[in-house]
Structure 1
């Protein structure tokens, strides 16, 4: 189950059934959950916690020191949930003491080849990150997000639940939940209707979100005016989440 050429620090903690491929390097203070498979030439540095059934492909670098010039060797962490797939050449960096001190990734995410996750990012569950997506430091992503290949997200940006970015998007502002964006700089192009229908959102929820979207993006209202009208007109969990994602913005929303 562990290839004889793999280098595993005695202080690493691996579940009994973890598989480790040729020439992988696993450092001290690394914890890997049950059912995980670590491919050849993977490097994992601690402090890092990987959940159950993690699948890491060749040449990925997981838990490395961040690229922030302020970083001075502090023992920051990377914490990853269960059932994540981390493809070839992916880089996942630990946090910094200037922020939360850890990079946090949820469960059931797919990181395609050469994705980069910078320091102190917080990523939800069930996301899809296509080839060469780049997340700068301090980015926060919700659940069920999709980022198309070669997309880049500026530091401190928020990206809401069920939102989607087309390939090559340059994202420098916050993206509300449920919307679809694309371009350089990214602009909003409607709701992520295909994604919402695939995930079983009700017709009532989609209708409410469509009307809420129009108030924010199509009626010429200020953001504050639009949010007031949404609150007065709808009492749906989905529209409340849409409003909350806009209110949480610190960089202004994609228009």
Structure 2
């Protein structure tokens, strides 16, 4: 990057877009419960404040010209949490769709949902479908919500779909390659993340975008998710700008 392009994101105006801005940022939103516990508050309050952080992240991504923002909202393993907490999370999801969908639509944001939908409660799946259908024609930021999502489970579903095509005679096994598998993932048509951010100081991917993050850059930050704001987002992007992505090749300096 040129000296001019190395300006920090923090120095960019809200509507500015720096050279090399990642097209796709994915975030593992972690630490709601610990944020609440440190303040002597119920876990629900941490989740509620986490929704406010989502709004800030979406606004910042749109302002900076990021094309795709993927948020890990509810994993396939989160069903193991206490029933009351799961119920609270479902309630927040319903409120978010009902209260924020109109604003997202007005802001030209397209919503896509990834994850398994089979077996979801009858009052949840229609909300997910509505969010996608209402915003499908929008051309601004694509907000990808990973709900009831697991990276390994996604790959299994893709392999099963390919296996059915082989069994039915519509696909030669020798024709199966990486592109064929990607076409059957939940994220078909979405570029792989350039940057993955995880909050709360944890340093693992937790079954998130297992296939898609093979060459992503990772930034782990100590802040709990409810404290994630525009400054934190921009600081993570500044760290990304320092990286030299080689995708298995040599750096320009080594050639």
TM-score (norm 2): 0.20
Judging by fraction of residues, say which structure has more strand.
1
**Bigger relative contact order, structure 1 or 2 (CA pairs below 8 A, ≥6 apart):** 2
TM-score after normalising by structure 1: 0.20
